[in-house]
Amino acid sequence: MSGQNTGIVTLVGAGPGDPDLLTIGALRALERAEVVVFDNLICPEILEHASAAELIDVGKLPFGKQTAQETINGILVREGSLGRNVVRLKGGDPFIFGRGTEEIEALHRAGVPFRVIPGVTSLNGVLGSAGVALTSRGRNRGFAVFTGAGVSDASEFKLWAEYPGPVVVYMGIHRAQEIATQFIASGRSPSEPVTIVVRGGTPREVIAETTLAELPTTLSDPSEWTPGIIAIGVSREHAFRARPLDGKLVVLGKEPLDGPASDTLRALGARPVRGVNHVPVHPFAREIELPARIEGR
């Protein structure tokens, strides 16, 4: 410990993008922060809660701007050692494919006090919001999760394929061909359903429903599908699809995105968005315009 001046570094899970999925703990930490060290957050709006803080962007985009993990660790140690109240804001949950362990190790080695506020991970935050239930009584008692990043050996994909239930893949968009090939080679049916959610919880969310055999074709241009999560062997719930405005984007007029009109639209299955800048570009997203005022509201 470097003495009286040492601050606290709080690793905060920001959730996968939708501000509604921030926890109360995350909100409080942001409001009190003097410095926020943040990743390439899907929803910059979240930073508005840290109105008094200095913001340090260490965003790591796949194939884009990169800040080395050692540099990030160094910033956290430096800011904590200066006695500042630091929030290290991370997408989803810090300990689920989030390199949180490396950051707390560095803080521990430097004697900087830290705490962790877990976040909603994409697994339930993104898939759940899209209507994918990973367990259901009488249907399955478990599911498996792995990351496609760093898999160097086909036998590793086979290992996951052998799990007797749904399998969720983080960072797997670029591995679609290998996933499909190895899963089918391991005996899973080519017609097994696959659900992909891209930019989940943001105005540019895309949900695609395909099959194992069709997965490589669906994801043939991976750059359009990041960040995305893949759920193999599970579909969107029938009750979700059956809602009258399922899959529709509704461009709101003056009503706020977090107001009662939005609540009504969401309950009908639609996704309310604001203005033309938020209209998704992907063909899977269909767009309709409704009057901002919903009848019967």
CA distance 105 to 237: 41
Is 90 part of the annotated catalytic residue set?
no
Tell me: does residue 197 bind ligand SAM (CB under 6 A): yes
Let me know if 235 is exposed, middle or buried by CB neighbors in 10 A (0-12, 13-18, 19+): middle
Residues 5-34 that bind ligand SAM (CB under 6 A): 16-17
Work out the number of other CB atoms within 10 angstroms of the CB of residue 62: 14
The owner of tokens 């979700």 is 240
Residues 201-220 that bind ligand SAM (CB under 6 A): 201
H or E element, residue 211: strand 206-211
Choose the catalytic residue: 18, 20, 39, 158. Answer: 39
Tell me: does residue 42 bind ligand SAM (CB under 6 A): yes
Residue among 84, 88, 175, 199 that touches ligand SAM (CB under 6 A) = 199
The tokens of 181 are what? 């090939």
Choose the catalytic residue: 18, 57, 60, 258. Answer: 60
Tell me: does residue 273 bind ligand SAM (CB under 6 A): no
Residues 244-263 that bind ligand SAM (CB under 6 A): none
What's the min distance (Å) between Cβ of 71 and ligand SAM? Answer: 17
Stretch that binds ligand SAM, among 63-71, 181-189, 193-201, 257-265 (CB under 6 A): 193-201
CA distance 263 to 274: 14
Let me know if 80 is exposed, middle or buried by CB neighbors in 10 A (0-12, 13-18, 19+): buried
CB 80 within 8 A of CB 112: yes
What's the min distance (Å) between Cβ of 285 and ligand SAM? Answer: 14
Is 60 part of the annotated catalytic residue set?
yes
Given the rule CB under 6 A, which residues bind ligand SAM? 16-17, 42, 91-93, 96-98, 121-122, 126, 170-171, 197-201, 227-229
- Catalytic positions, written as ranges: 39, 60
